[in-house]
């Protein structure tokens, strides 16, 4: 059984605002957009982020929309300065920095922000986690 995740889909209430944040604010290019419905953004080797306005209906479940959902997405960077710069750019693009850039318990440096929909991102410089050329995670460094 292959261990794979190909799509991470955020069920957004305001697709236009989510698009403004990720595509215009962060400057990430979209791969495919269906207006009023979905925006796909490539976020790695074989991985797409989806911003999707109709997730609840598609899955047939009621989705929780209040507060911060219990998960985070992490964007790792090469230096502490890059973490601070990214947090500032995200804030300028409409994010709320909920934990300012600071030393992290894991030994690196990080910040957390929530995007305009309330999704939680960690921006981290973590010398203890790297990825080999074949993509495998390597802990300790």
Taken as a whole, the chain contains a residue count of 141
How many C-beta atoms surround the C-beta of residue 25 within 10 A?
A: 20
Minimum gap (Å) between residue 73 Cβ and a copy of itself: 5
Count of residues of this chain found to bind a copy of itself when the rule CB under 8 A is applied: 66
The residues in 15-74 that bind a copy of itself, with binding defined as CB under 8 A, are: 26-29, 31-32, 40-49, 55-56, 58-74
Figure out which of the listed residues 36, 81, 93, 136 binds a copy of itself, where binding follows CB under 8 A: 136
Residue 136 CA: distances (Å) to CA of 131, 139, 141: 5, 10, 14
Q: Is 129 in the site for a copy of itself (CB under 8 A)?
A: yes
Minimum gap (Å) between residue 81 Cβ and a copy of itself: 14
Minimum gap (Å) between residue 47 Cβ and a copy of itself: 6
Separation CA 123–CA 76 (nearest Å):
6
Residue 116 CA: distances (Å) to CA of 1, 13, 23, 51, 96: 36, 10, 13, 12, 8
Q: Is 79 in the site for a copy of itself (CB under 8 A)?
A: no
Minimum gap (Å) between residue 108 Cβ and a copy of itself: 12
Buried b / exposed e over 98-120, threshold 16 CB at 10 Å, is eeebeebeeebbbbbbbbbbebb
List of residues contacting a copy of itself (CB under 8 A): 1, 3-12, 26-29, 31-32, 40-49, 55-56, 58-76, 86, 89, 98-99, 105, 112, 114, 117, 119-120, 122, 129, 131, 134-137, 139
């Amino acid at each position: 059984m292959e261990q794979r995740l190909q799509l991470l889909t955020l069920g957004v209430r305001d697709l236009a605002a989510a698009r403004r944040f990720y595509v215009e604010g962060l400057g990430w290019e979209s791969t495919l957009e269906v207006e009023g419905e979905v925006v796909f953004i490539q976020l790695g080797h074989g991985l797409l982020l989806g911003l999707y306005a109709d997730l609840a209906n598609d899955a047939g479940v009621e989705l929780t929309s209040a507060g911060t959902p219990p998960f985070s997405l992490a964007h790792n960077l090469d230096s502490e300065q890059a973490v601070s710069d990214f947090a500032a750019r995200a804030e300028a693009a409409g994010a709320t920095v909920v934990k300012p850039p600071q030393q992290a318990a894991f030994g690196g440096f990080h910040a957390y922000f929530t995007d305009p929909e309330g999704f939680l991102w960690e921006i981290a410089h973590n010398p203890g986690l790297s990825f080999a050329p074949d993509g495998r995670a390597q802990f300790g460094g």
